[in-house]
Structure 1
């Protein structure tokens, strides 16, 4: 007799007639394990290869992750070092801009002060003449003035 196959598990139903079951197991004395052992044995090299590939991939992923972490740590460290230089450069730029603005304001203030001094210098002779005239006028026209006595006038001036 030939070796049984999976198709041998089911035997044909009898002649046409009333409906009945489509088929029934005919030889189940060896069990499903006996049928599946050759299939799993044939798959074992593939399963082992897949397991090995999975382990290799996991190891490579761990190495890549460790390298990425080292690289990220190095970049963060370098960024921290560079941030001091960048801050110093930014502070220097701000200081230079502030100094330039301060110099500009000082120049404007000096120019305005010179304009005021120039205007004051132009007014001093006129104001001095007005003040002197006012004092002389008060002296000459004031109470107890000696307008008629030229001696007295010169004496007090």
Structure 2
């Protein structure tokens, strides 16, 4: 059988369940036990709804930012492709201009070399013309000397293997 102390403790626990239902004082007609989890849900529902709304807004902002970034990336890629195309065209023009300049310089250098060669050829011809009479005279004199020396010396006897003799 319970003692008086245990009964009071159990009764106190029983009474604490009804305490949040009404203010202390006279007994209320039909007290109901308090539902703390429902009270907490009711209390937290508005802030949680605001938090869900903030999360939805943040998701929307992230989606818009991702779409804007993708659009900018596509625009940048397109612009980069245009710049590369323009640069390649400019490079072709620069190569063509450079080739023309190099060709023109080479043609100028070739013309200068040709003119110098022509001047040297004219100088050689002039020297040859000025020296030709003297050299011709010396050659004629040498030939005449050889002829005179040949006529003065007797012809060599025909060799054993030479049946015709001298071919002169």
Q: Could you tell me which residue of structure 2 aligns to residue 10 of structure 1?
A: none
Q: Which has the higher contact order (CA 8 A, sep 6+)?
A: 1
1:91 pairs with 99, 106, 110, which one?
Answer: 99
Q: Aligned to 2:126, which of 106, 118, 136?
A: 118
Larger radius of gyration: 2
Note the 1:37-56 alignment, pairs <5 A.
39-56=47-64
- Deviation string 1:13-44 (CA, Å, 9 cap, x unpaired) is xxxxxxxxxxxxxxxx739x948655533323
Q: TM-score, normalised to structure 1's length?
A: 0.60
Matches within 5 A, 1:1-157: 1=20, 30=37, 34=41, 39-144=47-152
Equivalent residue pairs, number: 118
CA RMSD of aligned residues (A): 2.9
Structure 1: any 5+ residue segments left out of the alignment?
Answer: 2-28, 146-157
- Displaced runs of 4 or more, over 6 A: none
Q: What's the secondary structure of 1:92's corresponding residue?
A: helix
Question: Offset at 1:99?
Answer: 0.9
Q: What are the Cα deviations for residues 83-125 of structure 1, in whole angstroms up to 9, with x where unaligned?
A: 3323322221221122112112212222222222222222212
TM-score w.r.t. the length of structure 2 is 0.57
